[in-house]
C-alpha cells in the first residue's frame, strides 16, 4: 500500500511544482511588462508544465521499475528469514505457500490451506513495508530534487517550451517502444518456460512424437520418461481444422462474396451487405463456439451416423472447422475486397473493350492482378484460424488423434494450452510448462505466416500505387 502512497505523493509534488513554475513565470511576466523589458521566451503554462514533467516522469519511471524488483526482494527476504528457511525445498510447494502468505498479507484471503503460510504473513508485511518505504522515499526525494532543479531554471530567457517538447518526445518514443517490449516479453517468457520444459522432455520427442497424453505425467519425476509429449497430433489437428476444413468453407465463399460485392452488386446492396459481413466479423468467438457446440456439432454427428460412419463424434473436426470457416468468411472477403479494388480501372477497361465479358475480365485480368493480395489475405486468415481458441475449446475434442476423418474427434494446440493451464496450477510440472512450449511453437508459426503475408500484401500494394 505504501507504494500507492508514494505514487500519490509524487503526483502531488508534480502538481505543486507545476503550479509554482506557472506562478513564478506569471510574476516574472508582470514584472517585465511593468518595466517594459519585453516578453518571456515561453508562456507561463510551459514553465509550469516543464516543472511538473521534471517532477513527475523520472520518479514515476523509478516507481514503475521498482515495483517488480520489490516483489522479488520481498520474496527473497521472506525466504531468508528463519520461518522461510524452514519451508520445504521443493519449489512447487514452496511457491504455493508463498503465494498464500502473500495474498493473506495483502488482505485478499483470510486463511491459507497450508499452516506454514500464516507464520509467514508477519514476515511478508514487515519486508513489504521495509522495501516500499525505501522505494517510496527515494521516489519522493527524486521528485523533489527534480522539481527544485526545474524551478531554479525559471527565467525570462529560459526556453521552457523546448524543454517540454523534449520531454514529450521522450514520452512518444517510450510509447512506441512498448510494442517492441511486448514482442520481447512474449518471446522471452515463452522461451524461458519452454527451455525449462525441454530440460524435462527432449525437443525431438516434442516435435516428432506422435503420442500426446500429458495426463500420464502426474508425478514430476515421471515426466519425460512417459513419452507422452509428442505434439504431432496436435499440430495435425490444428492444421486439419484451421487450415483445411475452415479454408475449404471460407475461401470460396469469401472470395466470391468479395467479387460479387465489388463487381456486380448494386451500390445500395453493397452498402448494406458490407456492414452486415463486418458484423459477422465482430461476433465474439465464444458465441461461435457455443453455436458450434450446441447446434452444428449434433447436426454433423447425425449426418455422419446417417452416412453410415459409426465413429462419428459429437466433437467432430468438421463441426469446429465449419464454424471456424464461417467466422473467417468476412476476413477473407474484406482482404480480397481491398486487393480487388486496388487493381487499376484501366486494366479492367482494356479487357472489357476487347470484348471480354465481365466474368472473363474478372477471372483472366482482375483476379491474376489481385492474386498476391488475395494470397496474403488467405495466409493471414490461416494464421488467425490456427490461433483461434474458443471455437475449438468448445466444439473440438480432447483426444489427440492422427486421423483424416472429418467426423472423428481431433484436438488442437490452443485447446491443449487451455486444457493444460486451467487445471490445478502447479507451475513447475512438465504439464504446465508444455503449454508454454506449445505457445512458443504457435507464436513462431503465426509469426512466419504473418511476416510472409504482410510482406506480400505490402509489395503488391506498392506495385499499383
Binding positions for another protein, 193-252, rule CB under 8 A: 193, 252
Q: Which three cell numbers stand for residue 347?
A: 486494366
State the cell numbers at 80. Answer: 531468508
Out of 34, 82, 89, 276, the only residue in the binding site for another protein (CB under 8 A) is: 276
**Which one, of 187, 189, 155, 199, lies nearest residue 47 by Cα?**
155
Residue indicated by cell numbers 460412419: 309
Q: Under the criterion CB under 8 A, does residue 436 sit at the interface with another protein?
A: yes
Find the binder of another protein among 227, 447, 452, 461 (CB under 8 A).
447
CB 137, CB 7: distance < 8 Å: no
The answer to whether residues 214 and 192 touch, using CB atoms and an 8 Å cutoff, is: no
DSSP 262-293: IIIS-HHHHHHHHHHHHHHHHS-HHHHHHHII
Which one of residues 35, 284, 345, 465 is an interface residue with another protein (CB under 8 A)? 284
| Under rule CB under 8 A, residue 103 binds another protein | yes
Binds another protein by CB under 8 A, chosen from 114, 336, 414, 429:
414
Q: Which of 51, 24, 28, 52 is nearest to 39 (CA)?
A: 28
- The DSSP annotation for 155-211 comes to -TT--HHHHHHHHHHHHHHHHHHHHHHHHHHHHHHHHHHHHHHHHHS-HHHHHH---
User: Which residue stretch of 101-109, 213-221, 229-237, 308-316 sits at the interface with another protein (rule: CB under 8 A)?
Assistant: 101-109
The residue count for binding another protein (CB under 8 A) is: 99
The residue within the footprint of another protein, chosen from 180, 221, 267, 310 (CB under 8 A), is 180
In the set 117, 257, 401, 409, which binds another protein (CB under 8 A)? Answer: 257
- Looking at 76-84, 143-151, 207-215, 446-454, which segment touches another protein (CB under 8 A)? 446-454
Please tell me whether residue 91 binds another protein under the rule CB under 8 A.
no
Q: Can you tell me the distance from the alpha carbon of 188 to that of 85, in angstroms, rounded to the nearest whole number? A: 30
Task: Give me the residue label for grid cell 480501372.
Answer: 345
CB of 195 to another protein, least distance (A): 13
Interactions with another protein, residue window 10-69 (CB under 8 A): 67-68
Minimum distance from residue 301 beta carbon to another protein (Å)? 17
Q: Is 267 in the site for another protein (CB under 8 A)?
A: no
The span from the CA of 194 to the CA of 200, in Å, is 10
Q: How far is the CB of 331 from another protein (least distance, A)?
A: 11
The one-character DSSP state at 82 is H
Q: How far is the CB of 183 from another protein (least distance, A)?
A: 4
For another protein, which residue of 136, 237, 330, 373 counts as binding (CB under 8 A)? 330
Determine which residue in the list 189, 215, 225, 311 makes contact with another protein, applying CB under 8 A.
Answer: 189
Applying CB under 8 A, among 1, 31, 137, 287 the residue interacting with another protein is: 287
Is 176 a residue that touches another protein (CB under 8 A)? yes
- Least distance to another protein from the beta carbon of 401, Å? 22
Report H helices in 36-87.
44-80, 82-85
Distance CA 453, CA 396 (A): 27
Angle, nearest 10°, between helix axes 44-80 and 91-106?
A: 130
282/308 with CB nearer another protein: 282
Instruction: Report 357-396 residues binding another protein (CB under 8 A).
Output: 357-360, 362-363, 380, 383-384, 386-390, 393-394
Cβ nearer to another protein, comparing 28 with 329: 329
Amino acid at each position: 500500500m505504501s507504494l500507492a502512497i508514494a505514487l500519490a505523493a509524487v503526483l502531488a509534488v508534480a502538481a505543486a511544482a507545476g503550479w509554482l513554475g506557472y506562478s513564478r513565470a506569471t510574476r516574472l511576466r508582470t514584472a517585465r511588462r511593468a518595466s517594459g523589458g519585453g516578453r518571456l521566451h515561453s508562456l507561463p503554462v510551459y514553465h509550469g508544465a516543464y516543472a511538473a514533467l521534471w517532477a513527475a516522469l523520472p520518479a514515476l519511471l523509478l516507481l514503475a521499475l521498482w515495483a517488480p524488483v520489490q516483489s522479488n526482494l520481498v520474496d527473497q527476504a521472506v525466504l531468508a528469514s528463519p520461518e522461510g528457511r524452514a519451508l520445504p525445498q521443493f519449489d512447487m510447494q514452496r511457491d504455493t505457500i508463498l503465494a498464500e502468505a502473500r495474498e493473506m498479507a495483502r488482505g485478499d484471503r483470510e486463511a491459507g490451506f497450508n499452516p506454514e503460510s500464516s507464520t509467514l504473513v508477519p514476515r511478508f508485511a514487515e519486508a513489504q513495508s521495509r522495501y516500499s518505504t525505501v522505494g517510496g522515499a527515494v521516489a519522493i526525494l527524486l521528485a523533489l530534487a527534480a522539481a527544485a532543479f526545474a524551478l531554479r531554471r525559471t527565467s525570462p530567457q529560459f526556453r521552457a517550451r523546448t524543454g517540454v517538447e523534449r520531454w514529450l518526445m521522450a514520452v512518444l518514443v517510450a510509447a512506441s517502444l512498448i510494442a517492441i517490449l511486448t514482442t520481447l516479453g512474449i518471446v522471452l517468457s515463452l522461451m524461458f518456460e519452454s527451455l525449462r520444459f525441454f530440460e524435462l522432455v527432449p525437443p525431438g520427442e516434442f516435435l516428432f512424437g506422435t503420442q500426446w497424453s500429458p495426463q500420464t505425467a502426474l508425478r514430476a519425476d515421471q515426466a519425460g520418461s512417459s513419452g507422452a509429449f509428442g505434439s504431432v497430433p496436435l499440430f495435425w489437428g490444428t492444421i486439419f481444422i484451421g487450415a483445411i476444413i475452415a479454408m475449404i468453407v471460407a475461401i470460396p465463399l469469401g472470395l466470391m462474396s468479395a467479387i460479387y460485392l465489388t463487381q456486380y452488386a448494386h451500390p445500395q446492396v453493397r452498402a448494406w451487405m458490407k456492414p452486415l459481413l463486418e458484423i459477422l466479423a465482430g461476433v465474439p468467438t465464444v458465441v461461435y463456439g457455443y453455436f458450434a457446440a450446441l447446434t452444428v456439432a449434433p447436426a454433423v454427428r447425425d449426418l455422419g451416423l446417417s452416412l453410415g460412419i459409426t465413429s462419428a463424434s459429437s466433437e467432430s473436426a468438421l463441426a469446429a472447422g465449419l464454424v471456424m470457416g464461417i467466422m473467417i468468411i468476412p476476413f477473407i472477403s474484406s482482404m480480397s475486397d481491398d486487393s480487388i479494388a486496388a487493381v487499376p480501372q484501366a486494366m479492367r477497361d482494356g479487357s472489357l473493350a476487347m470484348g471480354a465479358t465481365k466474368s472473363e475480365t474478372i477471372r483472366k485480368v482482375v483476379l491474376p492482378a489481385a492474386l498476391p493480395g488475395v494470397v496474403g489475405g488467405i495466409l493471414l486468415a490461416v494464421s488467425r484460424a490456427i490461433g483461434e481458441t474458443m471455437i475449438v475449446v468448445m466444439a473440438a475434442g480432447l483426444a489427440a488423434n492422427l486421423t483424416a476423418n472429418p467426423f472423428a474427434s481431433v484436438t488442437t494446440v490452443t485447446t491443449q494450452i487451455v486444457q493444460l493451464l486451467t487445471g490445478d496450477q502447479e507451475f513447475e510440472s512438465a504439464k504446465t510448462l508444455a503449454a508454454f512450449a506449445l505457445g512458443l511453437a504457435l507464436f513462431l508459426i503465426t509469426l512466419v505466416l504473418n511476416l510472409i503475408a504482410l510482406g506480400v500484401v505490402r509489395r503488391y500494394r506498392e506495385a499499383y500505387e
